[in-house]
Amino acid sequence: MSRPRTWQPDMRGWWRRDPAYRQYLLREATSLAIGAYVLVLLAGLGCLLLGAQAWAAWCRWVLSPPGLVLQAVVFAAAVLHAVSWFRLMPLTLPPLGPPGRRVADRTLHVGAWAASLICSAGVLGWLVWGA
Amino acid sequence: MSERPTIVIEVRRWHPDAEQPPWWQAFELPYREDQSLLEALQHIKDELDGSLTFRWSCRMAICGSCGCMVDGRPELSCHLLMGDLAPGPVRVEPLAHFPVIRDLVIDQQDVLDKLPVAGAYLVPGDDTSATEPSRQTPAQVAEYAQFAQCINCLLCYSACPQYGLKPDFLGPAALALMARHDADSRDAGQAERREARDATSGVWDCTLVGHCTEVCPQGVDPARAINRNKGASARDYLLDLLLPGRRR
Amino acid sequence: MSRRLRRSHEPPFWLLFGAGGLLAALILPAVVLFTGLIAPLSGRCGDSGLLEHARMLSLLSTPIARLACAGFIALLAWHACHRIYHLCHDLGLRGGAGLRWACYGTAALVSVIGLVLVMGLPHP
């Protein structure tokens, strides 16, 4: 059977159709900030290996206005990432608990944020008092 | 005439025999607060321009025929009240990501072809007798009831940019129906559906935009159905890698 | 109508993306808070305070700490590169296999470099 003659709009600028799409792209764009921060950490590791002088130079850059602005952006991206990640997490999990009494999304959200709090405290504790 | 307020509805129109590209046509018409957008479109067809073409049937959001883009969002036109759309203007377009046959009528053949690929039907197990009813407990029904509410209105396909960008993607409704049958205690077709689930056009084309779930008029939550299957697909991928000969 | 189905090789990349995403959601804000706010407030950087060179080396002196540090950097890299690859696709950049190799190759490279660096750190 032959298909009828049709027209179809293309996908150019599809994110303009709905604010939900722009929120999605913002969520995905947090990866750019996280990627940049990974490179900063990698450079820091390299400087640490090179010696005290190189390490001091890295520390100066981290404290410089561009370094601080970058880290402010990375912090905002990391928080946005955490919020969206935990919000969507229940969708990606298999049904938990016995049939008929499945674990509610709300329980998972609370559990995820509690875990985040504990892990963050642990990491900060190690970084501040670890040595 | 009455003193009812009027509203402007702009409709994206196209005719296959017309020698012109798609165009916008504005209609000004009287409306009531409790009138549906579908009724307003019917008013246009009856009173203003009989050539305006669109699908509709039940007028009560259960047949899934009257889907269209309303101000950029996929909606059932019978499910929107003019009172909520006032003062307008309201922009009505055919559902996104589908070939348009004429005006608001789209060609849904692609999705119809994908439903059997996704195994969107119940595959009875060996223990199911054709003469005996297959009983389920309320808990067993609750496992899939949400995913079973789909009316194939295709709003989720219009909400999904990945379907628009990758036309091979099986898409939200077909993959939700896959999960619906996988979760049904009477079904034994999970193994048959694996190939479609694990394929490049299966669950892995989804990036969890999540708009499918937001626009679904039936509360099906296709985003959950699809992403729940990613874990299962990844598990099978690793097991097939570690245990050669496990599959086929 | 026949439709050829090809198996997707997304799962391993998605698992790494997911692991990195979970790790980032759990502790990344705290780590950035440390390098960007707490450490600078603790004194002159590099010479004294929390970011002192000898102190950082002693923090990263145990094999577990070193592996955790390298793993953190690697998983974040896989997470970011996976999303950047899909972001390019979403924005209509048709990079094909080249883009795929560039993105995941970068993640692999960062992982290896991170591991080599952290294992080469001198003991204090």
Query: Does residue A7 sit within a domain?
Result: no
Q: How far B205 CA lies from chain A's nearest CA (Å)?
A: 15
Query: Complex ipTM, two decimals?
Result: 0.92
Query: Average pLDDT, whole number, for chain B?
Result: 92
Q: What is the pLDDT of residue C44?
A: 58
Examine the pLDDT at B240 and tell me if it is beyond 50. Answer: yes
Mean pLDDT, range B128-154, rounded to an integer: 87
The whole-number pLDDT of residue C71 equals 97
Q: The domain containing residue C69 runs over which residues?
A: 53-124
**Residue C40: band (very low, low, confident or very high) from pLDDT cuts 50, 70, 90:** confident
Burial class (CB in 10 A: 0-12, 13-18, 19+), C41: exposed
Q: Please state the rounded mean pLDDT for residues B154-166.
A: 96
Say whether both A75 and A125 belong to one domain: no
C47 pLDDT higher than 60: no
Our CA-based measurement puts residue B39 at a distance from the nearest CA of chain A, in whole angstroms, of 25
| The pLDDT of residue C39 | 85
pLDDT exceeds 60 at position B13: yes
For residues B52 and B248, which has the higher predicted lDDT (pLDDT)?
A: B52
The domain tally of chain A equals 2
CATH number at residue A83: 1.20.1300.10
Q: B197-234: per-residue pLDDT in tens?
A: 999 999 999 999 999 999 999 999 999 999 999 999 99
Please indicate if any CB of chain B lies within 8 Å of the CB of C94.
no
DSSP for chain B reads -----EEEEEEEE--TTSSS--EEEEEEEE--TT-BHHHHHHHIIIII-TT-------SSSSS---EEEETTEEEEGGG-BHHHHTT--EEEEPPTTS-EEETTEE--HHHHHHHHHTT-S--B-TT--SSS-----HHHHHTTTGGGG-----HHHHH-HHHHH-TT---HHHHHHHHHHHT-TTB--HHHHHHHHHBTTTGGG-----HHHHH-TT---HHHHHHHHHHHHHHHHHHHHHSTTS--
Mutate to test the interface with A, among C1, C34, C35 (most CBs of A within 10 A): C35
| Structure tokens given for B116 | 């059997």
Query: Do the Cβ atoms of A100 and B139 come closer than 8 Å?
Result: yes
Nearest to B175, CA basis, from B190, B194, B197: B197
Contacts of A29 in chain C (CB under 8 A): 87
Instruction: Give the per-residue pLDDT at A131.
Output: 72
Termini Cα distance of chain B: 72
Please give the pLDDT value at position C51.
Answer: 86
| Whether residue C4 has pLDDT greater than 80 | no
The structural domains of chain B, with segments of one domain joined by +, span: 6-106, 109-242
Write out pLDDT tens, residues B29-82. 999 999 999 999 999 999 999 999 999 999 999 999 999 999 999 999 999 999
pTM of the model: 0.93
Kindly state the percentage of chain B with pLDDT values over 90.
82
Buried b (16+ CB within 10 A) or exposed e, B60-92: ebebbbbbbbbbebbbbbbbbbbeebeebebbb
Please report the residues numbered 33 through 52 in chain C whose beta carbons come closer than 8 angstroms to any beta carbon of chain B: none
Integer Cα distance of A58 and A69 in angstroms: 15
Tokens 């694990």 identify what position? Answer: B198
CB contact under 8 A, A20 and B211: yes
A55 and A113, same structural domain? no
Contacts (Cβ under 8 Å, ≥6 apart) of A44: A55, A58, A62
Examine residue A22 and state whether it is found in any structural domain, yes or no.
yes
Buried b or exposed e, range B93-104, using 16+ CB within 10 angstroms: bbbbbbbbbbbb
Low-confidence ranges of chain A (pLDDT < 70): 1-2
> Token pair for residue B177?
């129906």
Task: For residue B108, give how far its alpha carbon lies from the nearest alpha carbon of chain C (Å).
Answer: 14
CA distance C17 to chain B (A): 12
Nearest to A41 among C73, C84, C86 (CB): C73
Are both A84 and A47 inside the same structural domain? yes
Least confident range of A122-126, B126-130, B243-247 = B126-130
Residue type, position A90, single letter: P
A contacts of C85 (beta carbons < 8 Å): none
Mean pLDDT over all residues of chain C?
90
And the tokens for B65? 């025929």
Range of the domain at A127: 103-131
Superfamily of domain B109-242: Alpha-helical ferredoxin (1.10.1060.10)
> Is the Cβ pair B202, C8 closer than 8 Å?
yes
Angle at B49 between CA B44 and CA B55, to 5 degrees: 60
Note whether residue C97 is domain-resident: yes
One-letter identity of residue C78: W
Distances (CA, A) of B119 to B105, B193, B225, C120: 27, 6, 14, 53
Whole-angstrom Cα distance, residue C114 to residue B76? 53
Q: Is residue C25 situated within a structural domain?
A: no
Instruction: Look at A126 and B134; give whichever has higher pLDDT.
Output: A126
Evaluate if residue C61 carries a pLDDT over 60.
yes
In CATH terms, the fold of domain B6-106 is Ubiquitin-like (UB roll) (3.10.20)
Q: Assess whether pLDDT exceeds 50 at residue B176.
A: yes
Per DSSP, the three-state class of C60 is coil
Across the interface, whether the CB atoms of C8 and B204 are under 8 A apart is answered yes
On whether both A68 and A128 belong to a single domain, the answer is no
pLDDT class for B1, splitting at 50, 70, 90? low
The DSSP element (H or E) to which C101 belongs, if any, is: helix C96-120
pLDDT bucket at B247, cuts 50 / 70 / 90: low
Dig out the tokens for B160 from the structure: 């999904």
- Quickly state the pLDDT bin for C1 (edges 50, 70, 90): very low
Q: What is the DSSP string of B114-180?
A: HHHHTT-S--B-TT--SSS-----HHHHHTTTGGGG-----HHHHH-HHHHH-TT---HHHHHHHHH
* Domain count along chain C: 1
DSSP letters for A10-57: --TTGGGS-HHHHHHHHHHHHHHHHHHHHHHHHHHHHHHHH-HHHHHH
Residue B26 Cα distances to B10, B12, B168, B197, C79, angstroms: 4, 9, 35, 44, 47
CA dist., res. A3 & res. C22, Å (int)? 46
Does residue C2 carry a pLDDT above 60?
A: no
A77 and A126 inside one domain: no
Residue among A4, A21, A93 whose CB faces B211 most closely: A21
Q: Work out whether the CA dihedral B49, B52, B58, B59 comes out positive or negative.
A: negative
Q: Is the dihedral of CA A118, A120, A122, A128 positive or negative?
A: negative
Amino acid code (one letter) for B31: Y
- The angle subtended at Cα C10 by Cα A102 and Cα A38, nearest 5°, is 95
CB C77 within 8 A of CB C20: yes
Question: DSSP class of residue A6?
Answer: -
Q: Does any domain span residue A31?
A: yes
Within a 13 Å sphere around the CA of B136, how many CA atoms are in the beta-carbon half?
16
State the chains in contact with A (3 or more Cβ–Cβ pairs under 8 Å).
B, C
- Flag whether pLDDT at B128 surpasses 60: no
CB B114 within 8 A of CB B173: no
